[in-house]
Structure 1
Amino acid sequence: MPKWLKKSLVVLITALTFGTVSPPAYLTVDDQKDDSTFGDFTNKDFNYSANYIEPIEQELTKEAFLSFAKEQAEIQSFTKFGSRIGPKIQDEFKDIIFPKMEEVINELATEHPEEELNNLTISENPTGGDSEKIFHIYHAQTGKDLIRFHVRKDHPPLEGYYFNFHYHTYHDEFQGHHTLGSIFWAKNTPPKWLS
């Protein structure tokens, strides 16, 4: 099937169902190699049809949970950035912001008993447009969020635009704003998330 027809069908299905129904997988997977990458990930690595990553069934060690959580955190972050923002901020994100995200995830794993780590999972599908959500780590059985990782577009007067990375925790009922860091964009308005 021609690539233009596949793309047209995906847009049509999404528009007619207001995004509530995912297009079939055979319309969203290319037959040729996809060269668009963000860091070490390609668009084919992402599962756009599911809302959440399924909790892992076998017993997890702390190290296995941390490996899983950090991998998913990076994937969800680069999905959020999209093809217009991602390539321009990926180096700063990996050097400055991501190590701090890893520290927060380590703290979360440390405060939970190892047998509870099986019940923790990461939300998929970061929000687009101007919304802040990158991903949440939540308890799969109760559905309650534990940590919410967000990024906000800040525009201090006469300074240009910054991406402010931060998180909220259940400890203070998500009221506190815990800063991870900021990345300067430019004087011009940044594109929408996921674009």
Structure 2
Amino acid sequence: MNKWLRKSLFVIISILTFGLVTPTQLMNSVNAETPVDQDVLEVPTSETNYVHLESYIEEDSDFDREEFVDELVKQAEEQSYQKFGSKIKPVIENEFRDIILPKIELAIAETAAQFPQEDLKNLTITEQPGAGMSEKIFNVKNRVTGKDILRFHVRRDHPPHAGYWFNFHYHTCFDHFQVHHELGSIYWDKNIPPKWMS
């Protein structure tokens, strides 16, 4: 019941504000200070792989929008843990699941609410997160047009005398990927974090 109410709230806020104010902007409460050091931005590759969700889109009559969004969120969580690797994941996994993942789910649900069913069925998630110093966690893309819809990133911030933070944010095609939509930040340590996927 709680999950149903939460998803209903996301859709209602999206509809009422017509995209002017996103629920993620309203619910953003965990932020690091202004970044000093930033990671390398995502570099597009020619060999991008995507998670295919055919089992959810075979028949129009069987298509369930909520189940499809749930599957996108599940794949997003898996890609995030793959990016963290075996060194970072155990340290930040609980905070990520409690603070960041619900906001990722909100962003995906809010975006999905803007697509008619025939277009929503074409959305898919990238399979390969960025390694090393790349910010890319995953993208949500229209596999027919090849265009990105959402780009989820994590940046390493190092504010003066404040240790290292992981700043989670996303970009959307609706503002031409120009705005950082904050999801929150998780503290790492005073020491430099290992590279992604290590």
Identify whether the pair has TM-score above 0.5, normalized to the shorter chain.
yes
Q: Which has the larger radius of gyration?
A: 1
1:55: Cα distance to partner? Answer: 4.5
How many residues end up aligned between the 2 structures? 147
1:102-151 CA-to-partner distances (Å, cap 9, x unmatched) read 00011011000122221000011101101000000010101100000000
Partner of 1:54: 52
Task: Tell me how far apart the structure 1 counterparts of residues 64 and 152 of structure 2 sit (CA, whole Å).
Answer: 23
Task: Tell me how far apart the structure 1 counterparts of residues 162 and 108 of structure 2 sit (CA, whole Å).
Answer: 32
Q: Indicate the structure whose relative CO is greater, using CA pairs within 8 Å and at least 6 residues apart.
A: 2
For the aligned residues, what is the CA RMSD?
1.5
Using the size of structure 1 for normalisation, the TM-score is 0.73
Partner of 1:181: 184
Task: Tell me how far apart the structure 2 counterparts of residues 52 and 65 of structure 1 sit (CA, whole Å).
Answer: 15
Partner of 1:138: 141
Q: Does the aligned pair in 2 maintain the 1:51–1:125 contact within 8 Å? A: yes
1:64: Cα distance to partner? Answer: 2.0
Equivalent of residue 111 in structure 1, options 111, 114, 139? 114
Task: Tell me how far apart the structure 1 counterparts of residues 117 and 67 of structure 2 sit (CA, whole Å).
Answer: 10
Partner of 1:17: none
Give 3-state SS (helix, strand or coil) of 2:196's partner.
coil
Task: Tell me how far apart the structure 1 counterparts of residues 182 and 80 of structure 2 sit (CA, whole Å).
Answer: 16
1:68 equivalent in alignment to 2:34 = no
1:150-183 CA-to-partner distances (Å, cap 9, x unmatched) read 0000000111000000000001110101110000
Alignment of 1:11-90 (within 5 A): 51-56=49-54, 57-58=57-58, 59=60, 60-90=63-93
1:150 equivalent in alignment to 2:159 = no
Using the size of structure 2 for normalisation, the TM-score is 0.72
Equivalent of residue 95 in structure 1, options 95, 98, 108? 98
Partner of 1:159: 162
Poorly superposed stretches of 4+, deviation over 6 Å = none
Task: Tell me how far apart the structure 1 counterparts of residues 182 and 70 of structure 2 sit (CA, whole Å).
Answer: 23
Partner of 1:40: none
1:87-115 CA-to-partner distances (Å, cap 9, x unmatched) read 10000000000000000011011000122
